[in-house]
Structure 1
Amino acid sequence: MRYLQILAGLAGLASMASPVQAATAVNPTTAAKAAIDAMNSAFYNPSEGRWSPDIAWWISGTALQAVLDYMQKTGTRDYLAQARDIIEKQKGPVPGWPQGGGNFRADSTDDTAWWALAMLRMFDLTGDKQYLDIARQDEEYIWKYWTETECGGGIYVDIRALTYKNAIANALYIKLAAGLHLRTGDSIYLDKAVKTYKWLKESGMINSQGLLNDGLTRDKTNEVCYNNEGPTWTYLQGALVGGLSELFRTTSDPSYILDASTIVNAVINSPQLTPPSTGVLTDYACEGTTKGCNFDQQSFKGIFARNLGEFDSLITGRPYRAYLEQNANSAYEKARDGGNLYGTSWAGPFDGASLAKQQSAASLWVALL
């Protein structure tokens, strides 16, 4: 579905932080496949049905999403057998969280949501209702952790502690619930997605620059919740843009397009998230710091790119494609080694490989397909 041409003008690309290149350095399909193949060769453990089993489980979920999105966009089914094997081996009880009961119900709502979103894409690819049923079960599980007794609403991220309402858990839930409505027509999912977005928008998590901070802090004296001014991680922005895209796809309400474009433009025009010196997406809170980025943080930019690509495809003329191309060119030329493995910073230099870095780069290339 594409929206009215006028919305391309509303994208505001004239105010981008730096000039953009006109096209990618290589064919995006070729580069995406090379990145996925390198990810499989370097990090996939077939006996466990998971990439890099020693790092966070959710990162394999978002890596699977990149592979599934590649197949959806190209029409190939090259990795479908692998995807089926991953799902079968990972849908049992989550390591360290037997209470989850399997089918990707984890000890945090965001970890559950990453896998549930992959199940929606697996359903799109195969038409097999078992994957849709898993996503529905996961949505029901996540929604149990919505409460209105703290901060007036919202979903807790940490199921064990039930103490933190943050951007990622709620943004991912919006995308999941809206996606379920789109695929099932069940209005209960749309009602909950709209309710969650209304709460998030009014919660204070979106700052004066139009960007999401990490979450909310509750004042224990007066019970008021307020923006904790945590980092404006790239994946927070991307997850909400993805949720708004799915809401638009299922409602055709242009307000969701406008809200998403506000967030994207804020990212592009932020001197921290898109430094004028490079014009390349950056997680400023860890990239270039003495501490560096951990595996979770190394994953973030690809999630933004994935959701920006989905959003951009809704707008006539794909006005954000040039920004994605600029990032892809830079990553390919400055952050890649001779084996098609990618580093943390897409502005370079290459700083070694990890699954987190690789799935992020793969997601960037897939966003251009």
Structure 2
Amino acid sequence: MPERIRRLRMTAGSTACAAILCLMGAAVPARAVTASTPGDAASSRAKATAAVDAMMGFYDRNTGRWDPESPWWQSGNALQALLDYMAKTGSRTYMPEVRNTIALQRRPLDWWPQGGGEFRADSTDDTGWWALAMVRMYDLTHDKQYLDIARTDEAYMRQNGDDTCGGGIWWDLPGKTYKNAISNELYFKLVASLHNRIPRDTVYLDRARQSWKWFGNSGMINDDHLVNDGLNTQSGGCANNGGTTWTYNQGVVLGGLAELYRGTHDRQLLTEGRKITDAVIASPALSPNGILTETCEPAGGCNADQSSFKGVFARNLAELDALLPGRPYRAYLDAQARSAYAHDRNSADQYGLSWAGPFDSAAIGRQESAVSLLTAVL
């Protein structure tokens, strides 16, 4: 499968606030601004707060989702973005919405009731996004129930793995036809995160080490140190399928390496993370003129999922960068935030697809991506 195709999940009868409250690009003219500098009157926190407030314009209290007509996993990613912002700033303004989302979305899914709820879905990566958000909710509240949900999700993801291609978990259920990067990266980050939050744990640490060993040897990291979309298991093989090097596949693995480093202090993990990051920055396709770009952007072909990928990269790169002497990638992240704020924002503090600009239109994927970027530089 050369391109990752996501099934859109819709909630029947829900009222999508995005249709009413969230303005599209044609309705709100892009603000003319010059490139921002460290001396701008608007602080980094003010910029992030404005982006979060704009993101909450997509929120539908009845369903607990951000734009219920968008893919379900994006609400999990928006929740993560919001919780990351709370962790960085100490704000609890939207905690009622956070609790509402968790209460409603942890119920059995309409399209996958056999999962039994707790974010267990028919795509293992969908489960992984929500599970990592539960880890962050535990960080904020120290309430063990959220860590327990994440552990339930880990078990569910793990049970959908086997020895095909030497290990790894399947992306699609029940068919189990595709072993891809994102499901396995999310699992790797999840087990490493659980280890770091459970005193005297050895089980999750072993699983994290095994997961990274398998992923690192799977062939999904190509000779250019970039992560392709997956393996050609749908054709009966186990080779790198040469699929698109989506930015989020470059990102989540960085967060996993950072978490595993915290648990092991193995500096080789940081070295591996730097190889991937340096490859992204050096790539004329992924960082043209120094601005992170999804490969689908130039042709205008990005779908709802792909519009949110770059924020995932920024979030995870910031986690890795925080562990490195001298914060070598802070300047790169700052450059992304300055460009997006200056060139990819409208008068409602909504962000478009291309961080190089110009602003095109507003949607939850674009906005949650910007929130993660602006939070990454706090």
TM-score higher than 0.5: yes
Q: Aligned with 1:295: secondary structure?
A: coil
In the alignment, what sits opposite 2:216? 201
Q: Aligned with 1:176: secondary structure?
A: helix
The alpha-carbon deviation at position 196 of structure 1 amounts to 1.1
The AA in structure 1 aligned to 2:364 is L
Q: Aligned with 2:232: secondary structure?
A: strand
In structure 2, distance between residues paired with 1:338 and 1:283 = 24
In the alignment, what sits opposite 2:139? 124
Structure 2 residue ranges without an equivalent (≥5): 1-34
Q: Is the 8 A contact 1:24 1:329 kept in 2?
A: no
Q: Does residue 1:182 correspond to 2:196, yes or no?
A: yes
Identity over the aligned pairs, expressed in percent? 55
In the alignment, what sits opposite 1:35? 51
In the alignment, what sits opposite 1:345? 354
In the alignment, what sits opposite 2:30? none
The AA in structure 2 aligned to 1:274 is S
In the alignment, what sits opposite 2:340? 331
Q: Is the 8 A contact 2:179 2:233 kept in 1?
A: no
Q: Is the 8 A contact 1:116 1:176 kept in 2?
A: yes
Q: Which moved more, 1:356-365 or 1:253-262?
A: 253-262
Structure 1 residue ranges without an equivalent (≥5): 1-19
In structure 1, distance between residues paired with 2:183 and 2:36 = 34
| 294 and 102 in structure 1: CA distance in 2 versus 1, 3 angstrom threshold | same
Mapping 1:1-369, distance limit 5 Å = 23=38, 26-41=42-57, 43-148=58-163, 150-185=164-199, 186-218=201-233, 224-275=237-288, 278-284=289-295, 286-290=296-300, 292-369=301-378
The alpha-carbon deviation at position 95 of structure 1 amounts to 2.7
Q: Which moved more, 1:75-84 or 1:321-330?
A: 75-84
In structure 1, distance between residues paired with 2:127 and 2:311 = 19
String of CA shifts for 1:43-71, please: whole Å, max 9, x gaps: 11111111100010000001000110111
Q: Aligned with 1:151: secondary structure?
A: helix
The AA in structure 2 aligned to 1:156 is W
In the alignment, what sits opposite 1:11? none
Report the TM-score when normalising by structure 2: 0.88
Q: Aligned with 2:305: secondary structure?
A: helix
Q: Is the 8 A contact 1:21 1:325 kept in 2?
A: no
What's the Cα RMSD here? Answer: 1.5
Which runs of 4 or more aligned residues in structure 1 lie more than 6 Å from their structure 2 counterparts after TM superposition? none
The alpha-carbon deviation at position 311 of structure 1 amounts to 0.9
Q: Is the 8 A contact 1:58 1:114 kept in 2?
A: yes
In structure 2, distance between residues paired with 1:170 and 1:235 = 12
String of CA shifts for 1:59-111, please: whole Å, max 9, x gaps: 00010001101111112222212111110011001231111100101111100
